[in-house]
């Protein structure tokens, strides 16, 4: 079974979000299972800088985009294939600058998507399954069903399309249709039209043999008006092809047992080192009350992450005697609000505005509670890392958070975190008070921390589900 992963980003080459982790881990694990795999992505400047030794594979491809034909050169590294076209990809960022998206993103990702198919052919890698990710490669399943329908080379190829975040759909003016090279009859509500606009993501939904998203709960939520971003009706028509497969995390990078970035290592069996990590975090944040529990937020400062809730609950959280750490960057308004809080409550609120992976390791290891009040969360990695580090998630019961955190119940004394339903400060505070009751009972707290640290979110489990999905499409039932 030949698998081609088409993705706009992948670890360790270029990353802006969780998609890169998924694509990179999937390629690595499939290779480990000796399944022939090629991960195809653009040769961005970032990749060029990181991979001085990428091998020129000696093949070029020619891709029509609108009225022009562009040439791409293929480079390789391990199972990855990079499509080089400097005019499109030799840029400082992947998708755009802080001023906005690159104006030719439609051309760039049409070139990439058709380029993936031409690259497979040029490299004589006949894919049994093409697994495309997010809007940037969403047209591939539709190309297979239209422009390439009578192409012998892809006759037996099945397609899987994964939605990592429905909030990003690749919307362009309707007049851009000729850029795609697709026949005009796909520009209708059953195809890639979306209220007069061109919607790349719809191409993946319409064309793929199987559609997945990154948690079972999110797969259900996107069928509802609240979380469907206008595509709930369209998705509902393909509900039988839709499933959710939860992401994993890389325990080689995120495990306090061997993490070189924290002051002392620890494990579920021997948790003593967590105390040293907490002490280091308290020092770093200059917290004045070392006996108080530390609650932390690490993430993008965007509305999706529930920042409104956090900012409005901060005062009440302080009244409960918490220390609060924020690490994040993003929307100017949230950056400002968080800086203001830290300034007003130095000694109990600490904020670092920026992206700082090193510091995030100390926060995960040194905190007691990890805050994720997300409005929606397709999967979420933060809570999985926090669980492994014994920082108990205080999170909204949505998407991947609902699927990866077991809500603590006082009656059973079991759980791995504290979940709340309503997206409000009031609801968050309710869950926090439960958490603080448990925190006050060291024995009970230790039991919940142990259960959290033992929860397994390794990639192996998720990849097995993808392999089963591929096998199902190819008629290989196990
Ligand atoms: P999303 O992909 O929606 O941004 P996830 O929870 O899936 O959210 O993944 C976010 C990842 O990025 C986590 O590993 C988190 O630790 C990391 N991260 C986010 N913001 C920062 C930051 N400012 N500094 C360091 N790491 C961060």
- pLDDT(105) > 80: yes
pLDDT at 98: 74
Q: Both tokens of residue 320?
A: 């409960």
In sequence order, the β-bridge partners of residue 351 are 326
What burial letters (b/e) apply to 253-285, b meaning 16+ CB within 10 Å?
ebbbeebeebeebbbbeeeebbebbbebbbeeb
pLDDT at 100: 86
- 148-152, 224-228, 249-253, 311-315: the lowest-pLDDT one: 249-253
- Higher pLDDT among residues 357 and 130, named by residue: 130
DSSP letters of 121-187?
HHTT---SEEEEETGGGTHHHHHHHTTTTT-GGGTT-EEEEEES-TT---EEEGGGHHHHT--GGG-
What burial letters (b/e) apply to 315-329, b meaning 16+ CB within 10 Å?
eebbeeebbbbbbbe
120 pLDDT tier (thresholds 50, 70, 90): very high
Q: 3-state SS of 439-451? A: HCCHHHHHHHHHH
Q: Which atom of ligand 1 is nearest to the CA of 17?
A: 2
Q: Is the CB of 86 under 6 A from ligand 1?
A: no
Q: How far is the CA of 360 from the centre of ligand 1 (A)?
A: 9
- 43-52, 85-94, 198-207, 444-453: the lowest-pLDDT one: 43-52
Backbone phi and psi for residue 92, each to the nearest 5 degrees, phi listed first: -65, -30
Q: Is the CB of 91 under 6 A from ligand 1?
A: no
Kindly state the average pLDDT of the residues 69-86: 97
Query: Distances from the Cα of 108 to the Cαs of 89, 133, 204, 219, 440, in angstroms?
Result: 8, 15, 17, 29, 55
Q: How many CB atoms lie within 10 A of CB 392?
A: 30
Q: How far is the CA of 11 from the centre of ligand 1 (A)?
A: 14
Q: Which atom of ligand 1 is nearest to the CA of 18?
A: 2
Mean pLDDT, the chain, integer: 96
DSSP letters of 184-220?
GGG-STTTTEETTEEEHHHHHHHH-SEEEESSHHHHH
- pLDDT(56) > 70: yes
At residue 7, the 3 state secondary structure works out as coil
Q: Is the CB of 15 under 6 A from ligand 1?
A: no
- pLDDT(241) > 60: yes
Q: Is the CB of 306 under 6 A from ligand 1?
A: no
pLDDT tens column, 58-68: 999 999 999 99
- 32-36, 113-117, 234-238, 329-333: the lowest-pLDDT one: 329-333
pLDDT tens column, 436-472: 999 999 999 999 999 999 999 999 889 999 999 999 9
pLDDT tens column, 388-442: 999 999 999 999 999 999 999 999 999 999 999 999 999 999 999 999 999 999 9
Give the list of residues 6+ apart from residue 403 with CB closer than 8 angstroms, or none.
215, 216, 217, 244, 246
- pLDDT(27) > 50: yes
Cα–Cα dist 214/243, whole Å: 9
Alpha helices in 320-424 (DSSP H): 332-344, 357-366, 382-389, 399-404
Taking CA atoms only, the protein residue closest to ligand 1 atom 27 is 299
- Kind and range of the H or E element at 282? helix 273-285
Furthest C-alpha separation in the chain: 70
Contact 253, 222 (CB under 8 A): no
Kindly state the average pLDDT of the residues 307-316: 97
pLDDT at 21: 87
Kindly state the average pLDDT of the residues 247-276: 95
Q: Both tokens of residue 391?
A: 């920082």
pLDDT at 29: 93
Q: How many CB atoms lie within 10 A of CB 453?
A: 23
Kindly state the average pLDDT of the residues 160-183: 97
Q: How far is the CA of 331 from the centre of ligand 1 (A)?
A: 15
pTM of the entire predicted model: 0.93
- 151-155, 248-252, 369-373: the lowest-pLDDT one: 248-252
478 pLDDT tier (thresholds 50, 70, 90): very low
Contact 351, 341 (CB under 8 A): yes
Q: Which atom of ligand 1 is nearest to the CA of 364?
A: 16
Q: Is the CB of 261 under 6 A from ligand 1?
A: no
């Amino acid at each position: 079974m030949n698998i081609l992963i088409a993705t706009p980003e992948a670890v360790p080459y270029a990353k802006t979000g969780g998609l890169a982790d998924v694509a990179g881990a999937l390629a690595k694990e499939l290779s480990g299972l000796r399944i022939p795999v090629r991960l195809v992505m653009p040769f961005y400047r970032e990749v060029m800088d990181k991979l001085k030794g990428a091998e020129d594979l000696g093949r070029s491809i020619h891709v029509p985009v609108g009225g022009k034909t562009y040439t791409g050169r293929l480079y390789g590294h391990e199972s990855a294939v990079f499509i080089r076209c400097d005019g499109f990809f030799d840029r400082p960022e992947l998708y755009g600058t802080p001023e906005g998206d690159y104006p030719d993103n439609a051309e760039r990702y049409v070139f990439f998507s058709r380029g993936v198919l031409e690259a497979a052919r040029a490299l004589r890698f006949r894919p049994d399954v093409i697994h495309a990710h997010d809007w940037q490669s969403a047209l591939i399943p539709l190309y297979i069903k239209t422009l390439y329908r009578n192409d012998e080379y892809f006759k037996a190829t099945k397609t899987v399309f994964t939605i990592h975040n429905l909030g990003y759909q690749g919307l362009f003016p309707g007049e851009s249709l000729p850029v795609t090279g697709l026949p005009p009859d796909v520009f209708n509500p059953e195809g890639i039209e979306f209220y007069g606009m061109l919607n790349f993501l719809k191409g993946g939904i319409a064309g793929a043999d199987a559609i997945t998203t990154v948690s079972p709960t999110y797969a259900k939520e996107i069928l509802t008006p609240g979380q469907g971003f206008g595509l709930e009706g369209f998705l509902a028509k393909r509900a039988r092809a839709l499933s959710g497969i939860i992401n994993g995390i890389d325990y080689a990078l995120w495990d306090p047992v061997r993490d070189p970035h924290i002051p002392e290592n620890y494990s579920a069996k021997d948790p003593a080192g967590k105390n040293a990590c907490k002490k280091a975090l308290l020092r770093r944040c200059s917290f004045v009350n070392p006996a108080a529990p530390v609650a932390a937020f690490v993430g993008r400062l965007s509305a999706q992450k529930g920042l409104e809730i956090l900012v409005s609950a901060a005062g009440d959280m302080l009244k409960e005697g918490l220390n609060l750490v924020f690490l994040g960057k993003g929307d100017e308004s949230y950056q400002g609000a968080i800086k203001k809080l830290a300034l007003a409550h130095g000694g109990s609120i600490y904020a670092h505005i920026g992206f700082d992976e090193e510091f995030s390791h100390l926060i995960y290891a040194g905190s007691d509670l990890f805050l994720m009040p997300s409005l929606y969360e397709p999967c979420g990695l933060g809570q999985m890392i926090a669980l492994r580090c014994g920082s108990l998630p205080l999170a909204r019961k949505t998407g991947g958070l609902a699927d990866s955190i077991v809500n603590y119940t006082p009656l059973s004394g079991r759980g791995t975190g504290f979940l709340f339903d309503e997206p409000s400060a009031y609801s968050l505070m309710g869950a926090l008070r439960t958490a603080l009751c448990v925190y006050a009972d060291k024995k009970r707290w230790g039991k919940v921390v142990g259960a959290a640290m033992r929860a397994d979110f390794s990639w192996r489990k998720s990849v097995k589900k993808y392999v089963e999905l591929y096998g199902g499409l190819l008629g290989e039932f196990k």
